[in-house]
Structure 1
Amino acid sequence: MDFDVSSDWHVAAPYDFLRRLRREQPVFHSAHLGAYVLTRHADVRAAYGDPVRFSSRGSLAISPSLTAATREKLGEHGSFLSSFVANVDPPDHTRLRRSVSRAFTPRAVAALEHRFRALNEDLLDRIASRGEADFVRDIGHEPSVKLTARFIGVPEADEAHVQAHVKDWFQLFLSPQPPDRQLELAGSFLAYLDYVDRLVAARAREPRADFTSLMTGLIGRELSHREVVELISTILLGGNDTVPNQLGNSVLRLLREGVWPVPQDRLGRAVEECMRIDGASLGSFRYATTDVSLHGVTIPAGALVLLSADSAAHDEAVFAEPERFDLDRPNADAHMVFGYGIHFCVGAALGRLQLRTALEVLGRRLPGLRLVPGPISYRRSIVGRGLTELPVKW
């Protein structure tokens, strides 16, 4: 068996496979991924913390599954993430992260809580009387999409436009697609970059109180125009995709476990245990800069390496009974959904705040929330876990 990302089990139920790898082949070469895979918590954490031997440079630049025609269409933008903060090493990483961190101070993040809470309340004001919904389509995404748009400075009229392009972005780079669909998605992606580029230019002319204006003000001093475009493009991905996916995964888990609504004093614990057991991020890729010998296997210099945060979060050596959902698990936050080390997600505090706030508001407003019986399906992806739909009633 291999990491077949075209199969449903890869995202939905990989844990028997990962458990066997941790025990028998902790360093596994995946022919399907064209990469070595680290599966044990200690090894994944050590690799995240070792940017000298496990380089981020170029690790997100382009999906190896893209056809030559798609690469040609993308041109220079095939490596559009080449200067994104998660895709570079020091000293560029240090400079980029310092700039981005200005917008994610504790005070700035806390100020967003009131806005996010109001967005959730407004959504529920509009749909609570319906008594049923698809959580993914109707509930999970809108507040996060709107908060991210306001934070970045995307006009409300453009939110749906941006969300559609972000969905295409994800499919093109992080999910296997047939050749014709790749070309279609590549066109959407180029249009997305053009939109962000025009947004940056507009804020350069007329700055406002938003992230784009803050970053645009650093062009020529700390950042390049391309770096700002890439930062904005990828933060929009997190707010339009990753956080809503984690919320959907978490609600499904909590309803299945009969932990709904979550008690107010357990919200933080619930968020961490849900991220551990059903993380929206499955891991990150790195390149070995030198031969690395680990558990009797030599990873050759230049090889692509997947750091499986998903497997690490289910490692029996770190988490007792890892397949059991436990609100009292003392080390649930030892998961690596947000990465680890110098590449620990700069927006992690905001992501946690959004998840806690959404679960609190949803639990209070929809205490009778329950699943509609039926099959559960996930998007097929290399590095992300997200539901395609989640029918619920209340």
Structure 2
Amino acid sequence: MSIDLSALPSQVNDGYAPATCPFGFSAEKAAENFDPFGTEYQLNPGEALKWARENAPIFFDEKLGYWVITRYEDVQEVFRDNVTYSPSNALEKITPLTQEAQEILKAHDFSLNRTLVNEDEPQHTARRRALGGAFDTKELAHHDVMVRKLVRERIEQFQGSGTVDLVGALLYDVPLTVAFHFLGVPEHDMELLHKYSVAHTVSTWGRPSDEEQAEIASSVGKFWQLAGDILEELRETPEAEGWMPFSIRMQKEMPEVVTDSYLHSMMMAGIVAAHETTAHSGANAVKLILETPGLWQKLGKHPELIPNAIEECLRLSGGVAAWRRITTTDTELSGVKLPKGSKLLMVSAAANRDPEVFPDPDVIDLYRDNSAQHLTFGYGSHQCLGKNLARLELQVILQELTTRFPDLTLADQEFTFVANTSFRGPNALQVEWDPAKVQTPPAEFPEMVFNGPSRELRTRKLMVKNVDDSVPGIRRLVLESAESEESADTADGNPLPSWHPGAHIEVEAGGVNRHYSLCGDDPQTWEIAVALEHNGRGGSRWIHENLVEGSTLNVRGPRNNFRADADATHLILVAGGVGITPMLAMADDAKKRGISYELHYCGKNRSTLAYLDRIERDHGPNTELHISDEGTRLNIEQFQKRHAEGVQLLACGPDRLTSSLLEQLPQWPEGSIRHETFTALNALDSSNNEEFTVEINSTGEALTVAANTTLLETLESSGHDVYADCREGLCGTCEVGVLSGDIDHRDHVLSEREKETGAKILTCVSRAKGCSKLVLNI
């Protein structure tokens, strides 16, 4: 297509300007050539849309008639706000039906209507609450035995052959059989249902030709009739096990919520949803792991790391590439005006490779701190109900395959896909191995992991390469991977993952966890500086007293809640004491990118200033020292009138420094000042707390948060898995969405703008204001 802005409605044009590269790249031309049904997109949709993510993150595809959204923040926002961005078109035919196809579907009484994926509020939440209990992790755990039995039976049929198509022999068959068991549906002809599922996918998200539409419509119509027949069969045994019999029982209690039409639609959609995406994700994961040198063997030796690998595979190559929404009102998303009725294709596969959220986005990092924050399962109240059943199946499949077939490799083959916008996985996956090297799997495997790997599984072991005590009271540590030689070439060996300036790591330091900003410019190592706090809680003292070269540390991260704006044109960097570490990293980055900057470094005397030699060497002309003993204290008034478009002030240091900056610069625009402090201040002080209540939107569950406990502790004690590391409002891992209620924000992570929106809360420290009620989007 050619984006002729003058030809589009004026409300579409406003806020959108295609980028042009001086070396000849044109986002307009790239958008014209975008083809969601083409080979490049089918093979790797995230990589195929890299140009858009970097140059035109929201663009209009005239051929498709959709706005295509590619950045993480934008895709997440659309998922979060399911009122402005309705899911009602999620199952709409992306290619209009021919008259003949319409007549065929009509002859089969086809009337697929609302399901959980395409239903608006308030009906969606009401039905999800009524029917979602079966998907709780405590209800899923017992499926482990059944899934493992199925996987082993299938493997034993081909393990002596030396070659097999894993899709046909295992990866499609097992998820479909598990789907039957979970749904409580009698097993039917696998080949027939495979044909029907492919037809449904192509009919809904594909681009079938006029000639193909008749045959596809016939299969979809028969699928609809089969779903109805199965439903009637199940009504005769309503006390049977499974989700559909449960739903039938719920209809008697809530007939206005669980209707006949809804049950019929969910029967058909459920058969597809419960197996198709899991089968695709399994094939994609095996393919990706085998393409990563040494990773297959590492997982075979360390099956406890399989949950980590699964999250990275779901992020990089999940079975779901995109979802759709439609605007219910005129709105604006990241500066792009979207009129009411705009159709949106949110490409989660592209968002999952956003380097602003996932550094080194194209690399499998087994210890990536936020890997489970991928959008493959969606986000918010429409997040996939079956995500943890899929995780269970994928864990069992990879456990059995990696331990049995240590020398498994991909055979030479050309991969083909069912061309469509949203669901992807190879039609076949031919693999090879030596039957003589097949091993017996261990008697026991690690326990199933739901909701992503725990903090223990996300912990990497690093070795202290160098210790520098040249500045009194400050210990500089250079850390490198402590991986053994046998795994040095795997995805989690050297070099360590890259990080953005402002990032920090969490270090286990003598029984406590402490956070230290990264600095340094060696990609093979990470560097931190630790100031000795004599009156602290022991972490810095342990590091100063115990660590020597060759010591090992348990580390999590990196994570980043302290970033300069990507479009900033001038940075004012203010550091106090050891707060120089993130500021130095930002100065290095600004110099590298050619952005103007100035570095203000505050301290009592020169002998206490870390990195002074390097700062004078690399940033001398841009640096101003403010040393108390020399009478050159920082004068904050100099910054009062320096705010302008593109100017950002960032500060890190003692609270007295960052608080003074905020107090004395009230005229600076919102978001133009960002700061990071050394302490959590009074975030954990419970003396003025009041009891409040929260409601879990997806289930309707009401929880009371006592005055002497945190929201995080209350959620955990009620069986909700929430990422949580620092528990002091410093790291951001325990964030959950909020749909309504007034929040008392006590963290040091969210920006003022984020706090004002009231859309998220850090559960470890923040609370409801007074005794009001919060509705959580989980």
The reply to whether TM is greater than 0.5 is yes
Cα distance in 2, alignment partners of residues 339 and 260 from structure 1: 28
One-letter amino acid of the counterpart of residue 261, structure 2: R
Corresponding residue for residue 320 of structure 1: 359
User: Residues 99 and 161 from structure 1, CA distance in 2 versus in 1: closer, same or farther, beyond 3 angstroms?
Assistant: farther
Q: CA deviation at 1:78?
A: 9.8
Corresponding residue for residue 131 of structure 1: 162
Q: CA deviation at 1:275?
A: 0.5
Corresponding residue for residue 286 of structure 1: 325
Instruction: Report the structure, 1 or 2, having the larger helix content.
Output: 1
Q: CA deviation at 1:23?
A: 2.2
Q: CA deviation at 1:15?
A: 4.2
1:158-237 map, 5 Å: 158-207=189-238, 208-220=240-252, 221=254, 222-237=257-272
Corresponding residue for residue 277 of structure 2: 242
Contact 1:58 1:82 in 2 (8 A): no
More displaced, 31-40 or 158-167? 158-167
User: Residues 268 and 179 from structure 1, CA distance in 2 versus in 1: closer, same or farther, beyond 3 angstroms?
Assistant: same
Contact 2:202 2:418 in 1 (8 A): no
Unaligned runs of 5+ in 1: none
Cα distance in 1, alignment partners of residues 318 and 194 from structure 2: 21
Q: CA deviation at 1:148?
A: 0.8
Contact 2:44 2:317 in 1 (8 A): no
Q: CA deviation at 1:86?
A: 0.9
Corresponding residue for residue 111 of structure 1: 142
SS in 2 for 1:190: helix
Cα distance in 2, alignment partners of residues 43 and 76 from structure 1: 41
Q: CA deviation at 1:277?
A: 0.7
Contact 2:409 2:432 in 1 (8 A): yes
Corresponding residue for residue 102 of structure 2: 71
One-letter amino acid of the counterpart of residue 235, structure 2: A
Cα distance in 1, alignment partners of residues 259 and 71 from structure 2: 38
Q: CA deviation at 1:238?
A: 2.3
Cα distance in 1, alignment partners of residues 403 and 125 from structure 2: 41
1:9-88 map, 5 Å: 9-75=40-106, 80-88=111-119
Q: CA deviation at 1:242?
A: 0.8
Q: CA deviation at 1:243?
A: 0.3
Contact 2:46 2:352 in 1 (8 A): no
**Identity within the alignment, %:** 26
User: Residues 126 and 225 from structure 1, CA distance in 2 versus in 1: closer, same or farther, beyond 3 angstroms?
Assistant: same
Report which structure shows greater RCO (CA 8 Å, sep ≥6): 1
User: Residues 140 and 45 from structure 1, CA distance in 2 versus in 1: closer, same or farther, beyond 3 angstroms?
Assistant: same
Q: From 389, 398, 413, give the equivalent of 1:359.
A: 398
Q: CA deviation at 1:137?
A: 1.4
More displaced, 196-205 or 110-119? 196-205
SS in 1 for 2:251: coil
One-letter amino acid of the counterpart of residue 248, structure 2: T
User: Residues 44 and 74 from structure 1, CA distance in 2 versus in 1: closer, same or farther, beyond 3 angstroms?
Assistant: same
Corresponding residue for residue 289 of structure 2: 254
Contact 2:101 2:214 in 1 (8 A): yes
User: Residues 365 and 253 from structure 1, CA distance in 2 versus in 1: closer, same or farther, beyond 3 angstroms?
Assistant: same
Tell me, yes or no, if structure 1 residue 268 matches structure 2 residue 268: no
Corresponding residue pairs, total: 394
Corresponding residue for residue 344 of structure 2: 305
Contact 2:108 2:225 in 1 (8 A): no
User: Residues 50 and 164 from structure 1, CA distance in 2 versus in 1: closer, same or farther, beyond 3 angstroms?
Assistant: same
Contact 1:282 1:308 in 2 (8 A): yes
Contact 2:205 2:421 in 1 (8 A): yes
Q: CA deviation at 1:79?
A: 8.3
Cα distance in 2, alignment partners of residues 144 and 327 from structure 1: 25
Q: CA deviation at 1:298?
A: 1.3
SS in 2 for 1:325: coil
Contact 1:5 1:176 in 2 (8 A): no
Q: CA deviation at 1:20?
A: 1.8
Q: From 379, 385, 397, give the equivalent of 1:340.
A: 379
Corresponding residue for residue 375 of structure 1: 414
Cα distance in 2, alignment partners of residues 281 and 324 from structure 1: 19
Higher CA-based Rg: 2
Give the structure-2-normalised TM-score: 0.49
More displaced, 232-241 or 355-364? 232-241
Contact 1:151 1:210 in 2 (8 A): yes
Q: CA deviation at 1:81?
A: 4.5
Contact 2:104 2:221 in 1 (8 A): no
User: Residues 356 and 36 from structure 1, CA distance in 2 versus in 1: closer, same or farther, beyond 3 angstroms?
Assistant: same
More displaced, 216-225 or 307-316? 216-225
Q: CA deviation at 1:75?
A: 3.8
User: Residues 38 and 68 from structure 1, CA distance in 2 versus in 1: closer, same or farther, beyond 3 angstroms?
Assistant: same
Cα distance in 2, alignment partners of residues 379 and 84 from structure 1: 23
Cα distance in 2, alignment partners of residues 272 and 77 from structure 1: 40
Cα distance in 2, alignment partners of residues 192 and 277 from structure 1: 32
User: Residues 87 and 378 from structure 1, CA distance in 2 versus in 1: closer, same or farther, beyond 3 angstroms?
Assistant: same
User: Residues 16 and 214 from structure 1, CA distance in 2 versus in 1: closer, same or farther, beyond 3 angstroms?
Assistant: closer
User: Residues 76 and 289 from structure 1, CA distance in 2 versus in 1: closer, same or farther, beyond 3 angstroms?
Assistant: farther
Q: CA deviation at 1:311?
A: 0.9
Q: Deviations over 1:188-220 (max 9, x none)?
A: 111111111111112212222222211122235
User: Residues 81 and 37 from structure 1, CA distance in 2 versus in 1: closer, same or farther, beyond 3 angstroms?
Assistant: farther
More displaced, 231-240 or 107-116? 231-240
Q: Deviations over 1:122-151 (max 9, x none)?
A: 111111111110112122111111111122
More displaced, 39-48 or 65-74? 65-74
Cα distance in 2, alignment partners of residues 377 and 327 from structure 1: 28
Contact 1:163 1:240 in 2 (8 A): no
More displaced, 252-261 or 78-87? 78-87
Cα distance in 2, alignment partners of residues 133 and 227 from structure 1: 40
Corresponding residue for residue 151 of structure 1: 182
SS in 2 for 1:103: helix
Cα distance in 2, alignment partners of residues 76 and 230 from structure 1: 17
Contact 1:27 1:297 in 2 (8 A): yes
User: Residues 17 and 164 from structure 1, CA distance in 2 versus in 1: closer, same or farther, beyond 3 angstroms?
Assistant: closer
SS in 1 for 2:134: coil
Q: Deviations over 1:1-25 (max 9, x none)?
A: 3431332111213445422212221
Contact 1:61 1:78 in 2 (8 A): no
SS in 1 for 2:401: helix
Q: CA deviation at 1:320?
A: 0.7
Q: CA deviation at 1:167?
A: 2.2
Runs of 4+ in 1 over 4 A off after TM superposition: 76-81
Cα distance in 1, alignment partners of residues 203 and 355 from structure 2: 34
One-letter amino acid of the counterpart of residue 181, structure 1: E
SS in 2 for 1:172: helix
Q: CA deviation at 1:289?
A: 1.0
Tell me, yes or no, if structure 1 residue 141 matches structure 2 residue 172: yes
Cα distance in 1, alignment partners of residues 313 and 82 from structure 2: 28
Cα distance in 2, alignment partners of residues 153 and 295 from structure 1: 44
Give the structure-1-normalised TM-score: 0.94
Instruction: Report the structure, 1 or 2, having the larger strand content.
Output: 2
Cα distance in 1, alignment partners of residues 84 and 421 from structure 2: 23
